Amino acid sequence: MQLRHINKTDPKVAKLVAAEVKRRRATINLIPSENLASASVLM
């Protein structure tokens, strides 16, 4: 991602965006599944 334009106009925002991009590339976002089985599965 190129942040040159943002960096020229608002370096603070560019730094925050770069940190968020780095965080998303370095972590896995796990989404929990449902814990309850539907009625059709239980039958």
Residue 2 has a pLDDT of 75
Residue 37 has a pLDDT of 76
Tens digit of each residue's pLDDT (9 = 90 or more) over 18-40 = 999 999 999 998 887 777 777 88
First-to-final CA distance of the chain: 50
Decide if pLDDT at 1 tops 70: no
Choose between 14 and 30: higher pLDDT: 14
Find all residues with CB under 8 Å of 14, minimum gap 6, and list them.
3, 6, 7
Residue 17 has a pLDDT of 95
Domain ranges of the chain: 1-27
CA atoms within 13 A on the CB side of 36: 2
Task: Read off the tokens for 7.
Answer: 């960096």
Q: Average pLDDT of 4-25?
A: 94
Q: What is the pTM of this model?
A: 0.59
- The whole-angstrom separation of Cα 6 and Cα 11 is 7
Report which residue type is found at 36.
Answer: L
